[in-house]
Amino acid sequence: MTGQLLFFAFLAAVTIVCGIAMILADNPVRSALYLVLVLFSVALLFLTLHAVFIAAVQIIVYAGAIMVLFIFVIMLLNLGTPERIVDRLKPQQALGPVLGVVFVILLAFIISSLPTGRQQPLSNTLTGPYEIGMSLFTANWIFPFEIVSILLLVAAVGAVMLAKKRI
Amino acid sequence: MPIPLDYYLILSAALFTIGVVGVLIKRNPIVIFMCVELMLNAVNLTFVAFSRYHNDIGGQMMVIFVMAVAAAEVAVGLGILVSIFRNRASINVDEIDLMKG
């Protein structure tokens, strides 16, 4: 019981610290590596929620494919050097973090006062590929699945259109 | 006793806010994209937490669709970045004001 809570606290601390380090890092490559850490710990949080398949997809798609894309573009555009842009001192740079802290505190108050439902999970089954597949391909989700496949096709064509020098 | 649902919700609220603050204070569009990914992940965490605590698999379906849309968004966004960089040789977001009236 306390073991679960300790593990959750550890994961939450890693996630928050790496997230803050990500937005404080000057070097985009470091930001990307901190983001990988955040994604891995969110995948572990999915595991604590018994969502096995989602955790695996999180690691494969986010920490694998999307991060490779990011690193590749950083390399391609030679953005690995730290930002040396001298910003005009914008109010958002000072106000943003302060308002962020206020926002988190407000949200925490609201969440803890809401009746968010059960404090106990209803069942203890794992959600593996079988359950996901049964729900995705037989029940109500087959139509959104087809739509998403069209969206991915459009995005692939669009990305090539945008990035190519001459069509 | 399992972990209360509120803990997951507060954690994902904090993650989401970190993403928002990152979008506000960073000037490098790639890092801004990473912050958007962070926000999407925070929302995914909320979906999965609700899915488990209410025993409804719909939340996890939504997470799969969010991931697909995030992948599409990153591909198109980075394509736009590459083409901006090719035309202007600078990708500070403050200098990209072509559509400003």
**Chain segment B25-54, per-residue pLDDT in tens:** 888 888 999 999 999 999 999 999 988 888
Mark yes or no for CB contact B7/A108 under 8 Å.
Answer: no
Residue finishing a domain among A21, A53, A82:
A82
Give the three-class secondary structure for B85.
helix
Of A12, A48, A131, which has the smallest distance from its Cβ to B57's Cβ?
A131
Least-confidence region, from A15-29, A61-75, A76-90, B28-42: A76-90
Query: Does a structural domain hold residue A22?
Result: yes
Q: What are the structural domains, with CATH classification, of chain B?
A: 5-88 (1.10.287.3510)
A166 has a chain B CB within 8 A of its CB: no
d(CA B25, CA A74): 19
**Sign of the alpha-carbon torsion through A116, B16, A38, B58:** positive
A:B CB pairs within 8 Å: 225
**Sign of the alpha-carbon torsion through A100, A102, A108, A111:** negative
Please give the pLDDT value at position A56: 93
Instruction: Report the largest interatomic distance among the alpha carbons of chain A, rounded to a whole angstrom.
Output: 61
d(CA A31, CA A64): 16
d(CA A81, CA A77): 11
Which residue is closest to B32 within chain A, CA to CA? A23
* Predicted confidence (pLDDT) at residue A82 exceeds the cutoff of 70: no
User: What ipTM is given for this predicted complex?
Assistant: 0.90
If 0-12 CB within 10 Å is exposed, 13-18 middle and 19+ buried, where does residue B2 land?
A: middle
Query: Does a structural domain hold residue A49?
Result: yes
Query: Does a structural domain hold residue A91?
Result: no
The 3-state DSSP composition of chain A as helix, strand, coil percent (nearest 5) reads: 75, 0, 25
Query: Does a structural domain hold residue A3?
Result: yes
User: What does the block give as tokens for B16?
Assistant: 């989401």
**In A6-112, where do the E strands start and end?**
none
Of B22, B71, B92, which has the smallest distance from its Cβ to A23's Cβ?
B22
For residues A77 and A137, state if they share a domain: no
Mark yes or no for CB contact B76/A118 under 8 Å.
Answer: no
pTM of the model: 0.89
Residues of A in contact with B5 (CB under 8 A): 116-119
Query: Does a structural domain hold residue A12?
Result: yes
Per the structure, the count of domains in chain A is 2
For residues A78 and A134, state if they share a domain: no
Query: Does a structural domain hold residue A89?
Result: no
Residue finishing a domain among A82, A107, A139:
A82
For residues A15 and A74, state if they share a domain: yes
Of A57, A73, A127, which has the smallest distance from its Cβ to B67's Cβ?
A57
Residue A19, number of CB atoms within 10 A of its CB = 28
Mark yes or no for CB contact B41/A62 under 8 Å.
Answer: yes
Domain that holds residue A164: 128-167
Please give the pLDDT value at position B92: 73
Q: In the predicted model, what is the mean pLDDT of residues A98-116?
A: 86
d(CA A22, CA B89): 25
Query: Does a structural domain hold residue A90?
Result: no
Mark yes or no for CB contact B74/A66 under 8 Å.
Answer: yes
Residue to substitute from A4, A14, A15, interface B, most B β-carbons within 10 A: A15
Please give the pLDDT value at position A146: 92
A40 has a chain B CB within 8 A of its CB: no
Give the CATH number for residue A70.
Answer: 1.20.120.1200
Mark yes or no for CB contact B14/A132 under 8 Å.
Answer: no
d(CA B33, CA A74): 12
Q: At what angle do helices B29-53 and A67-76 cross, to 10 degrees?
A: 180
For residues A61 and A137, state if they share a domain: no
Query: Does a structural domain hold residue A121?
Result: no
